[in-house]
A and B are shown apart, each in its own frame.
Chain A
Amino acid sequence: MNERRVLLNKIKKYDFTLKELNLYLDTHPNCQRALSMFKKYKELRINAVDEYIRRFGPITPEQNNDMQRWSWIDDPWPWERR
């Protein structure tokens, strides 16, 4: 598996864990352990997404930071497995 896919898989895992904690917290809004785990995974996700954008380009269009070129249209698209 190439580095791009490894990083994308990492983001996928973090997203899933955050969604699970989100659903748990919806019914347990004062659970400190869930809250601190959510915070931890939120930071992991932010860092992984930042690294992905820096190295491989935007995952969503609004992440386009290039003021010379609309790099969103450059291959490969985030979901293309290469």
Chain B
Amino acid sequence: MNLDLFDDMEGIILREREASMNSVNMRNAINGDSDTSRFPKNTPIAMAYVPVQQWGETYDDDKALSRGTLFPELDLPFSGGGDRK
């Protein structure tokens, strides 16, 4: 596997965070729009990639327990039907 692909990992992480703030960008990324894709060109298909978590905001302990996570960016409740309204 060509590890050069991951030279820009920091950049990927930043783009990932920006994209996760914006569901429109996220959809473009999923659809393979090259301008907003979270992956470098020539990323091998059929491999699983996990963006690395970066330190950011934290909930207070009260909210953390009730939301089930200390980190707002991991507060991603699954609801039937995804983001369809």
Contact = CB atoms under 8 A, between A and B. Distances in A.
Query: A and B from one assembly?
Result: yes
Q: Size class of A's contact patch? A: 10 to 19
A5 to B, nearest CB: 14
B58 to A, nearest CB: 7
B55 A17 contact: no
Contacts, number: 32
Contacts of A13: 61-62, 64-65
A20 B71 contact: yes
Main secondary structure of the interface of B (DSSP, over half): loop
A41 B55 CA distance: 17
A27 interface: yes
B42 interface: no
Contact of A12 (B52, B65, B71): B65
A77 B71 CA distance: 32
Interface of A: 12-14, 16-17, 20-21, 24, 27-28, 31, 33-34, 37, 41
Interface of B: 52-53, 55, 58, 61-62, 64-65, 69-71
19 contacts: A12-B65, A13-B61, A13-B64, A13-B65, A16-B61, A16-B64, A16-B65, A17-B61, A17-B65, A20-B64, A20-B71, A21-B70, A24-B53, A24-B71, A27-B52, A28-B55, A33-B55, A37-B58, A41-B61
